[in-house]
Amino acid sequence: MSEQERDILPVERIHPTSPRLLGLTVVIMLLSGVMLNASVKLLFQTYPGLDNPTYGAFHEQWRRLMDLDRPVDTLILGDSSCRHGVDPDVLDAELGSHSLNFCSLGNAAIINSAWQLETYIERHGVPKRVILIQVHDVWRRNMQLPLVARVPLPWGFWERLRASWSPDRRQLRHIFLALHVPVYSQDKTVTELLAYPWRARERRLPFTPRGYSPIERANPRRVARDAAQHVRKTARRGWRLSAQSRGALQTMMDMADELGFDFYVGNSPQAEGMLSKPQFARYYESGQRVLADLADTSPRTELILSPPVEYSRRQMENSDHIIATSVPSYTRRLAAAVATSELHRVPQRRREQ
C-alpha cells in the first residue's frame, strides 16, 4: 500500500495485550455463554408456555403423569386428536370408570405412549384398560428428538424401558443439546423473544384437571386445507408403520397380554368427506388391515372406531381435532365402542384364550 493509500484506507493496528488479559477475555466470554444458556433454561422451566405451546402441552401431560398420586383404571393415550377429543368425565359417566387423559402430540409418536404406560405401571400398578387413539399418519412417525429430551425420566431411559430404542450418536447429540443447551436447540424461540419482545407471551393450552384440552373455535377453512393436504400426501406415499412404532405397539400388546389389561387401539376423529376420496380410502383401509391383523395376534387387544367417526368442518379445528361441542359425542362413541367390544363383553373367554 502506498503512503497515500495508507492515509485514505484503514489499516490493522496491532494492540498490545498480555497473556493474562487474553486468557481472562476468553474465559469471561465462554462463561457468558454458559450463563446465557443457564438463564434460558431457567426461563423455559419457569415459563414453559413461552416455548412452543405444543411442547408445553407435552410437558403438561408428562407432569400430570409424574405427579399422579393414586391409580386410575383407564389410561387414555395417544396424540393431540385425543388430547382435544376425549373428555375423561364423559367417558367415565358412560363406562363407570375412572380415567385420565395423557394424550400428547403426533410428533411424540407411539413410543411415547408406550413409555407413559410403562411409567404408569411402574408407579401405580396395572390399569384395567388402556385406550390408544392415533391419527392415521402418526403410525409412520418416529418420536421427534426434542420431545425425547422433554421426557422427564433419567438419561438413557430409552434403552432401559421395555419399549426400547437405541439412538445413534447424532441423535444422542441432538437429545443432549435439546436437554442441556436450549440456547442452541430452541434458538428460534429465543430469537423470537429477543427480536420481537412485544410478541412474547406465555402460550399455554387450556387443560382440565384430568388432561383434556378443549378447543373452543372451529376453523372450517383450515379443516378443508388440512384435509386436502392429507389426501394429496397419500397420493405420494402409502400407509406405513415405522419400525419404532411397530416395536412400541407390540410392546404395549405384549404387556396387555402378560399383565391382563384391555388394550384398545382406536382411530381419531376425521373430517367428513376424506374417505369418499378413493385414493385416501384405499390408503386408510390398508392401514386398518395392518392394525387389525396386529391386534388379532393379541388376545387382549382390539381395534375400535373403525371406520373413524366423521365430523363436519364446522365441528373441527383441523382435519383431526374436534371442537369442545363435539367432544361429548366422540367420547360417547368411544365409550360405546369399548362397551360393545369383545374384550369388554366377554373378558372371561378372552383370558381363557
Partner 1 sequence: MLFNSFVFVGFFLLTYALYLSLGRRTRAQNLLLLVASYVFYGYWDWRFLGLLAVSTLIDFTVGKALYRAKDAHRRKLLLTISVCANLGILGFFKYYDFFARSLAEVLRLVGLDPDPLTLGILLPVGISFYTFQTMSYTIDIYRGKLAPTESLLDFALFVSFFPQLVAGPIERARTLLPQIERPRRIDRDQLAAGLWLILWGYFKKVVIADRMALIVNPVFAEQANYQGLELVVALLAFTVQIYGDFSGYTDIARGLAKLMGFELMVNFRLPYFAINPSDFWRRWHVSFSSWLRDYLYIPMGGNRGGKARTLRNLAVTMLLGGLWHGAAWNFVIWGGYHGALLVIYRWLDPNPIDANPWRSGVARLRVVGMMALMFLLTVFGWLMFRAQSASQILYFLSNMHQGLGRTGVELLYNLFFFAWPLAAVQLLQYRTGDLLAVCGLPTPIRIAIYCFLFCGIIIFGVHESMEFIYFQF
- Which of the stretches 33-41, 141-149, 248-256, 281-289 binds partner 1 when contact is defined by CB under 8 A? 33-41
Set of cell numbers at residue 330: 366422540
- Name residues whose C-beta falls within 8 Å of residue 203's C-beta, 6 or more positions apart in sequence: 49, 50, 53, 56
| Residue 166 in contact with partner 1, rule: CB under 8 A | no
Q: Is 198 one of the binding residues for partner 1 (CB under 8 A)?
A: no
Closer residue to partner 1 (CB): 23 or 96 = 23
Stretch that binds partner 1, among 56-64, 96-104, 182-190, 308-316 (CB under 8 A): 182-190
Contact call for residues 80 and 321 (beta carbons, < 8 A): yes
Question: What part of residues 74-113 is at the interface with partner 1 (CB under 8 A)?
Answer: none
Q: Which amino acid is at 290?
A: V
Q: Does 26 bind partner 1 (CB under 8 A)?
A: yes
CB neighbour list of residue 107: distance below 8 Å, 6 or more residues apart:
54, 141, 143, 144, 147
**Cβ 58 vs Cβ 300: under 8 Å:** no
Size of interface with partner 1, in residues (CB under 8 A): 34
Q: Are the CB atoms for 212 and 88 separated by under 8 Å? A: yes
7 part of the interface to partner 1, by CB under 8 A: yes
Contacts of 344 (CB under 8 A, 6+ apart): 262, 338
Nearer to partner 1, 3 or 69 (CB): 3
- Residue 65 CA to residue 78 CA, distance in Å, equals 14
29 vs 353, which CB is nearer to partner 1?
29
- Cα–Cα distance measured from residue 266 to residue 339, given in angstroms and rounded to the nearest whole number: 13
Among 21, 42, 200, 292, binds partner 1 (CB under 8 A): 21
For the bound state, the minimum distance from the C-beta of residue 41 to partner 1, rounded and expressed in Å, comes to 13
Task: Using the structure block, give the residue that is written with the C-alpha cell 430469537.
Answer: 191
Binds partner 1 (CB under 8 A): choice among 190, 271, 323, 334: 190
Residue in 66, 123, 160, 191 binding partner 1, rule: CB under 8 A: 191
Q: Return the range that interacts with partner 1 (CB under 8 A); candidates 29-37, 44-52, 53-61, 265-273.
A: 29-37
Stretch near partner 1 under the rule CB under 8 A, chosen from 16-24, 101-109, 273-281, 322-330: 16-24
Q: Determine which residue in the list 70, 159, 168, 195 makes contact with partner 1, applying CB under 8 A.
A: 195
For the bound state, the minimum distance from the C-beta of residue 35 to partner 1, rounded and expressed in Å, comes to 9
Q: Which of 257, 240, 252, 41 is nearest to 138 (CA)?
A: 240
Three cell numbers, residue 51: 416455548
Q: Do residues 213 and 54 lie in contact, with contact meaning Cβ atoms separated by under 8 Å?
A: no
The x, y and z cell numbers of residue 55, run together, are: 411442547
Q: Assess contact for 18 and 156: CB atoms under 8 A.
A: no
Angle at which helices 109-124 and 243-259 cross, to 10°: 30
170 near partner 1 (CB under 8 A): no
145 binds partner 1 (CB under 8 A): no
Q: Does 187 interact with partner 1 (rule: CB under 8 A)?
A: yes
Interface with partner 1 includes 45 (CB under 8 A)? no
Which span sits near partner 1 by CB under 8 A: 3-11, 74-82, 84-92, 123-131? 3-11
| Residue 199 in contact with partner 1, rule: CB under 8 A | no
Rule CB under 8 A: say whether 200 interacts with partner 1.
no
> Which helix (H) or strand (E) is 91 found in, with range?
helix 88-95
Smallest distance, Å, CB 179 to partner 1? 16
Please choose, from the candidates 290, 270, 289, 167, the residue with its C-alpha nearest in 3D space to the C-alpha of residue 226: 270
CB 200 within 8 A of CB 174: no
Smaller CB separation from partner 1, 8 or 216: 8
- What residues line the site for partner 1 (CB under 8 A)? 4-5, 7-19, 21-22, 24-26, 28-30, 32-33, 36-37, 183-184, 187, 190-191, 194-195
